[in-house]
Structures are given as structure tokens and as C-alpha cells.
């Protein structure tokens, strides 16, 4: 009795776990307003489980029953025959064994089939790409939508036949239909016919597999690049056609066994199929590849390489990338300085990878709040600015690990410390008098320029696994909210204000015993049932990470690795870029999504929703927004021309909102997605070449630069407001650089317009390609120059020698300036071995051509780099304050006649004041005044340069 009891308990436990998972998912999807997604996914899975699972189980069972009923009436009994013992043991329990076997097969096969719900829906709803593959002339939609489902059905059917043949052969053997004892193997007539039909069905499925193998060659292939190559087209595809014919003949001969009563012909045909597959399917292509293709590979593979180049550039959406030859001069004229003034000062000096400690120490407020190690870059219109400025922003989230040990208990963890509060933001290109960030949003309660109406963050990247919110009517709230103290900085020992109660949309009611028990079982926590804090008004909120919420409501999307906070219409939201991907695009080169998106900032890249990490098609099809307070998830169709997105919008008609519903306020904070850019950057290392001969020679291959501050991984792309020769006006852009393969000098600078409000040029990718004969240094070489430059070394020597200070070098930025490239790197100083210390921006290093400049501001560093004045680091004693250079006075008209009595330094000071006035005019929208001031800057710098050269 013990074994059946244990089996029953195990079955009940499994069923209870499944029921809990499904029912709580139902409640969760209902709470976020995506019940249709839950019903569609569950319904599809149940349908596939029932239809294909039952088909598998009942087909096997039916064949076993046929084998049993067609057993010989009289079977000789031999003691040395194992079949006799099997028959004696199996016969009394045959029905229970068959029942259990059928249930196991249905469950196993049904689970496999249910896992293909997305493949089934794509086949069912898939449409056309409007593009045909170069080999068979089939629409790309056939490969992306239809082909995966057909291949699954073939493999499923073949597995069904294999399992059936094995079990049927065993039954025939046990009950005398197949005799192995004695001389030779003998079959009863029923066993022979039965197995012959099954073998015939299996060989027919193999013929179908040969048919679809031809299309697989167009997707994967075995040529020089992905896609069908010369040998595939001229040997492997013809061999598949031959094998299809041989397999069909072989299947017919197996079926003919019903009449001819002999295994001879079908066995010979099976042998012929095997030999043909070896000779024609294996040896013939190998001979052609070795003796015909390899000696003339560039000529033979050329047309197929061309197909691969075209398809790859289309599949990764880089076909329209604009490549511009860039002279990369190493000196600047006065006109260059004038035209690139905006780029000079828009360089983002605040490094989001280094300032997190400063944000935490200055704006954490309490130990149970935290901010991410790497902050985010966005842009906002601040004050009276007419154009948006780069801003470093972070959400202040709750961190249970920041609580003291005495505070850690179930009630505190899940009912008291439930949410974070507000965002912290600083200007990207300014610093305070002592190098600290210049805040634009700070403190608790929130104060600054964002006008946040709802600052509480219940849904974030660091939120607790679950929280239970809600109090009985008339009871006081218990959630920790705003610390006491002026300006959000609490005095030591002051208590927390517990005056908040969650009133958001999301959350599943746990006011009844049934739901309490469900969630107690789900989270393995009996307190959910036992605690008095779980009352009739309580809700449980969970699955709180923004990326996880998007992945759950849209399981067909791949979420970007970086969710970033933004303030939109007075609320804090998380913005997540989401992608549709495929690995079935014909002739497109496959790429590892995780490998391409992993760099020094993202140790784990985007994770594809496909069974494999290899993709060969990618689109930023959806912009997802998660409200940080109430967890609302909104999906907006961004690339509404994407055929995969169109397909999923047919499957889930109400899940994705049209692009037109994106509010103007939200649109300002959308940007070009970083993971898509990383993948495109990876593709362009080789596919910037469009000529098949040059591609094959592979002499123009590029590589992504390693991060000079972390040589183990790639340098990440950077969001910058900058301009290039094709776009003279500054644009918020995502930028990176390329190096020649096996060298460290610069090959190209790539940027993509990230201004979503720029409807015409958004997403336009531009490559500034340097001449191959130039030797412009790359990031690692520039970093080496920065570290070995005598002026820089001398200025930083006091910090190097000090035991109380540590030098932290920030992100090395590359900016196109005056047909050249400017490198800028901020230098931070941090007190060593001091609790509460954080990096402080103290200096800037700049390089243009061969010159390296060092100063306390970018302007100082650039002047020194250009040789207009010696580098001046000011006070470089450890702990010294640095001037932010923000005290420039008003400028004036430069006289038409040069003042020969003015020194170069005086002229540059005057130019600096003119430039400050120009920026004020630009922010005020007075373009005429701005241009006049900029013209003055150019003339003054020219006079200063003349003064330097004449001295």
C-alpha cells in the first residue's frame, strides 16, 4: 500500500503545482490587463498538447493493440527463449501497463508539442515579407513562418514512427510474431505486414525531410558564408532531389511487402537509400568542394557571397548605412573651430559608469535605497533651454540588503519596505565647483526641474520579489515612505514617515483564503496565510522587474538588456526596447545575440526567445513602457512594417498599441536601442563591404575596439549629442568606433541618429571611414598616450603618490570635429580607504591629432591639445577643488581691425566669453545672435593662433 500512496501523493503534488502556476498566472495577467495573451497562449498550448499528445499516445497504443490481436494463436514454449518469460510476466498486467504507457507518452509528447505554441501561431498567422530568396524564389515568409512548423511536424512524426516500431516489434516478439530463437529470424505474416507499413511511413517521412533539407541549405548552407554556396547548389540540392525519389521508391517497396510477402526488395531498397545518401549526399559534394570549388573559390563562390551580403544587410537593417570618406585632419582651422563649437561643449563628461557612488552617497538618503552601478543617459529640456541636454539619470529603488540584520524579517521585507522613491538626475556635461554632479532632480521629497507628481517606485530592477500592500479600512498605512528631515536629508535617529498606501492598478487580491493559500504555495511562505497584515484589502505585487514584465506579457519579444527610467507627464516610467528576431532568414549570416551585445557595461547581453542564441534577423519592432508606480505595461508598435510584428499582432490583436498613440512627451525620451546597435555594429565589422571580391579577400575587415578601461571586453557604444559632416546640427546619437583587424589605429567612426522626434533621419546610420593610409590612433592607443603624456603624468603625479587618493579614468569618448576626431576622457579622483567616498570629476584630457591637452575643463584641455596654450590643471593637490569654468562673462563684438597689442591668452579669454554668450543665445532660440557670436569666436581664435605662431 505504501508505493501506491506515495505515487498518488506525488501525482497530487505535481498537479497542485501545475494548477497553482496556471491559476496565479491567470490572476497576474488579469491584473495587468493582458488576459487575452494568457488565454491565447494557454489555449494554444492545451490544443497542441491535446491534439498532438493524444495523436502520439493513441497511435502507439493502437499499433500495440493491433500487434497483440494479430499474435499467433499457438506459440511454442521454449525454456531458453526470453520471450516466454516476458510473456508470462506481462500478460497479467497488460492493461494497466498499456494505460500507464499511454499516459506517459501523451504527457511527454504533448509537452513537447505544447512548447511549440509560438511556432504554430507563426505558421497559422504568418504572412509575406515581400522579398524572395535568390535560390528557390520563395518568399522569405515561407522560411520564417512556415518552414519551422513543417520541420517540427516531420521530426515529431519521425519520432512517433521510431517509438511505435520499437514497441510494436517488442510486442510481436513477446507474443510470438517475431522469433529470434533457433536458426534465423522469422516473422509471422501479420508482424511482417505491420512492420513493413510502419517502415514505409518512416521512409516517406525521410523523403519529406530530404525535401525540406534543400531549404535548410538556403538558411544555413555549408559554403564560404551562410546560405547555399556553389557546392550546395550544384551538388547537395540535386542529391537531395535524387534521394527524395529513392526514398519514395523504397517506401513503395515496403508497402508492396503486403503483396510480395518478402523482405528482399524493401531491404535492398533501404540499402540503396543508405548507399545513395553516402555516395551522392556525402562523397559527391566533398569531391566537388575539394577539386572544383576550392581551387577557384573566389570565382565559384562569388555570386553566393553577393547573395549573403545583400541578405545580411537587409536582415539586420543596415542596407541603407551611409559610408562617407573622412579625411581625419590632425589640425583645425579657425573656421573648423567655429563650425564645431557645439560638438566641443556637448561632450558628455559625466561618466555613467563611475558616478553611481556619487549619486548614492549624495542622494541615497537612507541605506535601504540603492541605485544601479551603471546609470542611464537621457535628454531633457531644462530651465529655459530651447534644446534638450544630455542628462545622467537613476531611479532610487528600495534595497532590502541595505537594512540592518535586526530589521530583516518577513513583515519588514514584504509589507513595510515596499518601494523606492523618485529619480536622481544630473547634467551630463557640467560639474559643480568641487567636481560633484550638477543636479537637475534630487532629494526626498523630489525637487528639481522634472515636476514629478508620483515619485514612488514599486516596480523596478531591484524591487523585492513580492510585496503585500493594502490595509483594512480605517487602519493606518505601514509602508515606509518619506524620511523626515529638511530637503529629504533625515537627521540621525529620526523615524521614517509611514504614511503611504499603495493605490496602483496592478496587484492580485489576496483578501480571500483561496488566493492566500495559492500564493503561500507559490512562494513557499506560510505567513501569507497566517499573518494579520494580509487582510481583506490586501494585494500582492510580484514579477516587478520591468524587463521581466515585458517578457511575460509579450513572450515573443526579446527585451533589450537595458531598461532605463524616464519622467513622462509627471510619472516615472521604465522604457524597454523590444525586438523581433528570427534565425530563418535565407542567406543572412548568423550572429550570437548574447556575444554581440555583451561588453564592459553589459556583462550579460540580450537573451533571444528563440531555441538558439544564434539569430540572423532583428528589428526594434516594439517600444515598451512600464509605469514604475502601478506596473502598467504598454507596448507600442515602433516598426509597424516588420512582418514578424504584423504576425504577432494578428495572434494578439489588442496587445500592441499603434505608434500613433505614443504621446509627444514619451516620444522625447525614446531612443535608438543599444542592443540593436551592438548587433549592427558587429555585423558591420565585415558587412560594410558590399563588393563580393573585396569581401572574400577580407582585407577590409574591422573589429570593435576593446574598452581601454577594461581590456577584457569590448568598448560599449555611447549616447552623445554630437554632429558629423552629413548632419551639421547636433543630434542625440549612439556612437562607436571600428579598428582595422589586428591593428589598433582607427578605421571608422559610426553613429546612428537617436532623435526619435526627427521623423526623417531617426535611425539613419552613418560611417565616417578613414583613409587606409592614415594612422589615426584608436582608443587603446589614445588611452596609452593619455597615461604617458608628460604633462598629464606630471599633473596627476600628486594623486599617484598619495595614499589618500585614487585616480579613476572615465569613458573615452570619440567626437568628429572639423574633419578630424577628438578624444575626450574625464578623470575622477576618489579618496582611498574612506567610508562614504565617491569619485569626483576633477580633470579632462583631450586629444586631437598628435596633441594631448589636460585641464580642469574641456575648453582648457582642447586649447592645450591644439597648442593654443599650455595645459593648466590648476590646483592638482589631492583634495583640491577644480574650477568648472562656468564663470565666463558676457562677450562683445570683436573689432574688425585686429588688436595687435592683445596677447594670445587675452584673445582666448575674450573668445571664451563670446562662446558663453553664443550658448546663451542658442538656448534662448536667438539663432542670429548665436551665429554672430560664433563668428566672433572664430575671428578671436584665429587672432590668438596668429599671435602664438608669431611669438
pLDDT score for 918: 66
Which among 819, 918, 868 is positioned nearest to 345, based on CA atoms?
Answer: 918
pLDDT score for 831: 79
pLDDT score for 353: 85
* pLDDT above 80: residue 400: yes
- What backbone phi and psi angles, to 5 degrees, belong to 344? -60, -45
pLDDT band at residue 484 under the 50/70/90 scheme? low
**All cell numbers assigned to 499:** 504614511
Q: Are 755 and 731 in contact (CB under 8 A)?
A: yes
Torsion sign (Cα): 678, 850, 806, 439 = negative
How do residues 840-867 score in pLDDT, each as one tens digit? Answer: 888 889 887 777 888 887 777 877 877 7
Task: Give the C-alpha distances (Å, rounded to integers) separating 371 from 375, 400, 448.
Answer: 8, 13, 18
State how far the Cα of 199 lies from the Cα of 157, in Å rounded to an integer.
Answer: 12
Of 527 and 792, the one with more pLDDT: 527
* pLDDT above 90: residue 210: yes
pLDDT score for 877: 46
Q: Are 771 and 753 in contact (CB under 8 A)?
A: no
pLDDT averaged over every residue in the chain = 84
* pLDDT above 80: residue 925: no
* pLDDT above 60: residue 21: yes
How do residues 153-198 score in pLDDT, each as one tens digit? Answer: 999 999 999 999 999 999 998 888 888 766 667 888 899 999 999 9
442, β-bridge pairs:
447
Of 345 and 198, the one with more pLDDT: 198
pLDDT score for 328: 65
Q: Among 333-347, 529-543, 588-602, 662-676, which is the least confidently predicted range?
A: 333-347
How confident is the model over 60-82, as a mean pLDDT? 82
Of 677 and 721, the one with more pLDDT: 677
pLDDT band at residue 890 under the 50/70/90 scheme? very low
pLDDT score for 6: 74
How do residues 351-397 score in pLDDT, each as one tens digit? Answer: 888 888 888 888 888 888 999 988 998 988 887 776 788 899 999 99
How do residues 222-232 score in pLDDT, each as one tens digit? Answer: 889 999 999 99
Determine how many CB atoms are found less than 10 A away from the CB of residue 74.
Answer: 5
pLDDT score for 184: 61
State how far the Cα of 212 lies from the Cα of 220, in Å rounded to an integer.
Answer: 12
* pLDDT above 60: residue 888: no
**All cell numbers assigned to 86:** 516476458
How confident is the model over 55-73, as a mean pLDDT? 92
Q: Are 281 and 198 in contact (CB under 8 A)?
A: no
Give the rounded distance of the alpha carbon of 615 from its chain centre.
12
Give the number of C-alpha atoms closer than 13 A to the C-alpha of residue 796, restricted to the C-beta side: 24
- The percent of residues in the chain predicted with pLDDT above 90, rounded, is 48
pLDDT score for 884: 40
How do residues 254-281 score in pLDDT, each as one tens digit? Answer: 999 888 888 889 899 999 999 999 999 8
pLDDT score for 75: 67
726-735: long-range pairs with CB below 8 Å, 24+ = 726/322, 726/324, 726/766, 727/753, 727/761, 727/766, 728/339, 730/342, 730/343, 730/346, 730/387, 731/755, 731/758, 731/761, 732/379, 732/388, 732/390, 732/671, 733/672, 734/671, 734/672, 734/674, 734/677, 735/814
Amino acid at each position: 500500500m505504501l508505493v501506491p500512496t506515495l505515487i498518488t501523493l506525488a501525482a497530487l503534488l505535481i498537479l497542485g503545482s501545475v494548477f497553482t502556476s496556471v491559476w496565479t498566472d491567470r490572476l497576474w495577467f488579469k491584473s495587468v490587463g493582458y488576459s487575452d495573451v494568457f488565454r491565447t497562449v494557454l489555449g494554444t498550448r492545451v490544443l497542441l498538447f491535446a491534439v498532438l499528445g493524444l495523436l502520439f499516445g493513441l497511435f502507439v497504443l493502437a499499433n500495440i493493440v493491433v500487434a497483440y490481436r494479430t499474435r499467433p494463436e499457438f506459440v511454442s514454449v521454449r525454456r531458453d527463449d526470453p520471450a516466454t518469460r516476458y510473456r508470462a510476466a506481462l500478460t497479467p498486467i497488460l492493461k494497466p501497463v498499456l494505460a500507464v504507457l499511454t499516459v506517459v507518452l501523451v504527457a511527454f509528447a504533448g509537452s513537447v508539442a505544447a512548447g511549440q505554441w509560438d511556432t504554430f501561431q507563426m505558421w497559422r498567422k504568418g504572412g509575406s515579407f515581400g522579398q524572395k530568396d535568390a535560390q528557390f524564389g520563395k518568399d522569405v515568409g515561407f522560411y520564417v513562418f512556415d518552414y519551422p512548423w513543417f520541420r517540427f511536424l516531420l521530426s515529431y512524426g519521425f519520432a512517433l514512427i521510431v517509438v511505435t516500431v520499437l514497441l510494436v516489434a517488442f510486442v510481436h516478439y513477446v507474443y510470438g510474431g517475431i522469433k529470434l530463437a533457433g536458426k534465423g529470424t522469422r516473422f509471422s505474416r501479420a508482424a511482417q505486414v505491420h512492420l513493413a507499413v510502419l517502415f514505409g511511413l518512416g521512409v516517406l517521412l525521410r523523403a519529406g525531410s530530404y525535401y525540406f533539407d534543400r531549404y535548410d541549405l538556403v538558411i544555413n548552407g555549408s559554403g564560404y558564408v551562410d546560405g547555399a554556396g556553389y557546392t550546395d547548389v550544384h551538388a547537395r540540392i540535386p542529391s537531395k532531389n535524387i534521394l527524395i525519389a529513392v526514398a519514395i521508391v523504397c517506401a513503395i517497396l515496403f508497402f508492396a511487402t503486403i503483396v510480395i510477402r518478402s523482405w528482399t526488395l524493401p531491404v535492398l531498397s533501404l540499402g540503396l537509400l543508405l548507399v545513395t545518401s553516402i555516395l551522392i549526399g556525402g562523397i559527391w559534394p566533398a569531391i566537388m568542394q575539394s577539386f572544383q570549388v576550392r581551387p577557384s573559390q573566389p570565382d565559384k563562390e562569388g555570386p553566393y557571397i553577393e547573395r549573403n551580403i545583400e541578405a545580411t544587410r537587409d536582415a539586420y537593417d543596415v542596407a541603407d548605412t551611409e559610408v562617407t570618406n573622412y579625411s581625419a585632419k590632425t589640425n583645425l582651422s579657425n573656421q573648423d573651430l567655429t563650425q564645431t563649437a557645439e560638438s566641443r561643449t556637448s561632450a558628455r563628461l559625466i561618466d555613467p559608469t563611475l558616478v553611481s557612488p556619487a549619486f548614492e552617497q549624495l542622494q541615497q538618503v537612507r541605506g535601504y535605497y540603492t541605485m544601479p552601478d551603471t546609470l542611464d543617459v537621457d535628454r531633457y529640456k531644462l530651465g529655459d533651454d530651447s534644446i534638450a541636454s544630455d542628462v545622467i539619470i537613476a531611479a532610487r529603488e528600495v534595497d532590502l540588503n541595505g537594512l540592518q540584520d535586526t530589521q530583516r524579517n518577513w513583515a519588514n521585507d514584504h509589507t513595510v519596505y515596499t518601494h523606492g522613491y523618485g529619480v536622481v538626475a544630473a547634467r551630463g556635461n557640467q560639474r559643480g565647483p568641487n567636481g560633484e554632479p550638477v543636479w537637475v532632480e534630487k532629494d526626498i521629497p523630489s525637487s528639481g526641474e522634472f515636476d514629478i507628481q508620483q515619485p514612488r517606485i514599486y516596480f523596478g530592477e531591484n524591487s523585492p520579489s513580492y510585496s503585500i500592500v493594502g490595509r483594512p479600512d480605517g487602519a493606518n498605512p505601514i509602508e515606509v515612505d518619506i524620511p523626515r528631515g529638511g530637503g529629504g536629508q533625515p537627521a540621525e535617529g529620526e523615524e521614517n514617515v509611514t504614511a503611504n498606501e499603495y493605490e496602483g492598478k496592478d496587484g492580485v487580491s489576496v483578501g480571500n483564503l483561496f488566493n492566500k493559500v495559492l500564493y503561500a504555495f507559490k512562494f513557499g511562505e506560510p505567513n501569507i496565510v497566517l499573518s494579520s497584515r494580509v487582510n481583506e484589502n490586501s494585494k500582492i505585487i510580484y514579477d516587478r522587474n520591468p524587463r521581466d514584465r515585458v517578457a511575460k506579457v509579450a513572450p515573443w519579444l526579446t527585451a533589450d538588456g537595458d531598461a532605463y527610467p524616464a519622467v513622462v507627464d509627471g510619472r516615472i516610467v521604465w522604457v524597454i526596447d523590444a525586438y523581433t528576431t528570427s534565425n530563418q532568414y535565407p542567406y543572412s549570416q548568423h550572429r550570437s545575440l548574447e556575444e554581440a551585445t555583451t561588453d564592459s557595461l553589459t556583462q550579460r547581453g540580450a537573451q533571444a526567445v528563440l531555441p538558439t542564441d544564434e539569430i540572423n534577423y532583428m528589428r526594434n519592432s516594439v517600444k515598451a513602457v512600464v509605469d514604475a508606480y502601478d506596473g502598467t505595461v504598454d507596448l507600442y508598435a515602433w516598426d509597424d512594417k516588420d512582418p514578424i510584428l504584423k504576425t504577432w499582432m494578428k495572434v494578439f490583436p489588442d496587445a500592441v498599441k499603434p505608434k500613433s498613440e505614443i504621446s509627444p512627451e514619451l516620444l522625447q525620451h525614446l531612443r535608438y536601442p543599444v542592443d540593436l546597435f551592438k548587433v549592427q555594429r558587429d555585423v558591420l565589422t565585415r558587412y560594410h563591404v558590399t563588393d563580393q571580391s573585396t569581401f572574400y579577400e577580407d582585407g577590409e575587415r574591422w573589429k570593435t575596439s576593446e574598452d581601454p578601461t577594461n581590456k577584457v571586453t569590448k568598448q560599449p557604444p555611447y549616447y552623445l549629442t554630437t554632429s558629423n559632416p552629413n548632419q551639421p546640427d547636433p543630434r542625440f546619437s549612439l556612437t562607436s568606433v571600428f579598428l582595422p583587424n589586428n591593428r589598433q589605429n582607427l578605421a571608422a567612426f559610426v553613429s546612428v541618429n537617436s532623435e526619435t522626434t526627427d521623423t526623417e533621419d531617426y535611425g539613419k546610420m552613418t560611417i565616417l571611414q578613414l583613409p587606409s593610409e592614415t594612422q589615426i590612433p584608436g582608443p587603446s592607443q589614445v588611452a596609452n598616450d593619455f597615461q604617458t603624456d608628460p604633462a598629464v603624468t606630471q599633473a596627476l603625479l600628486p594623486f599617484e603618490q598619495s595614499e589618500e587618493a585614487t585616480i579613476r579614468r572615465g569613458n573615452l569618448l570619440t567626437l568628429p570635429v572639423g574633419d578630424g576626431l577628438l578624444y575626450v576622457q574625464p578623470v575622477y579622483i576618489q579618496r582611498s580607504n574612506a567610508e562614504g567616498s565617491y569619485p569626483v570629476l576633477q580633470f579632462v584630457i583631450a586629444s586631437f591629432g598628435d596633441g594631448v591637452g589636460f585641464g580642469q575643463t574641456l575648453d582648457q584641455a582642447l586649447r592645450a591639445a591644439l597648442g593654443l596654450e599650455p595645459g593648466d590643471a590648476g590646483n592638482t593637490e589631492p583634495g583640491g577643488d577644480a574650477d568648472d569654468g562656468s564663470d565666463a562673462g558676457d562677450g562683445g563684438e570683436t573689432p574688425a581691425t585686429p588688436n595687435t597689442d592683445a596677447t594670445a591668452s587675452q584673445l582666448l579669454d575674450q573668445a571664451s566669453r563670446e562662446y558663453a554668450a553664443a550658448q546663451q543665445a542658442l538656448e534662448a532660440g536667438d539663432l542670429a545672435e548665436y551665429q554672430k557670436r560664433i563668428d566672433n569666436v572664430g575671428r578671436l581664435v584665429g587672432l590668438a593662433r596668429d599671435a602664438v605662431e608669431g611669438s
